[in-house]
Amino acid sequence: MASSSEAFEKFSQWKKDKTWLNVTVVERGKAAEHLFVRIGGVDEDASLVGLAGKQMHSWANLDVGEAEFSVEERRVVVARNADEWLIFEEPES
């Protein structure tokens, strides 16, 4: 597992680079939603990541407090518990 500061460093880099990301929301162990978004805001102190995307009508702030993080080169996995995850992933080129 990675530290939250490592995850927020990656979120900040994606925000700075205006990287489009695939975000999969997993609830109850199953993919509940797939989003194509950019990170528009990062607040590590409040444990918030702000997202905006074409299919969204407004900003969404995701609370990632008290989560465990896995940080890879092109992906960050945020696990709230065994059944609830957020998977942020750069699309393949």
The number of distinct structural domains making up the chain is 1
- Residue range(s) defining the domain that contains residue 43: 4-89
CATH value at residue 10: 2.30.29
Q: What pLDDT is attached to residue 68? A: 96
Share in percent of the chain as helix, strand, coil (round to 5):
15, 55, 30
| pTM, rounded to two decimals | 0.90
Task: Render pLDDT for 51-67 as a digit per residue (tens, 0 to 9).
Answer: 998 777 778 899 999 99
**Average pLDDT for the chain:** 93
Task: Render pLDDT for 15-30 as a digit per residue (tens, 0 to 9).
Answer: 999 999 999 999 998 8
Gap between the Cα atoms of 83 and 28, Å rounded: 5
DSSP codes of every residue in 26-82: EETTEEEEEEEEEEEEEETTTTEEEEEETT-SS-EEEE-TT-EEEE-SSEEEEEEET
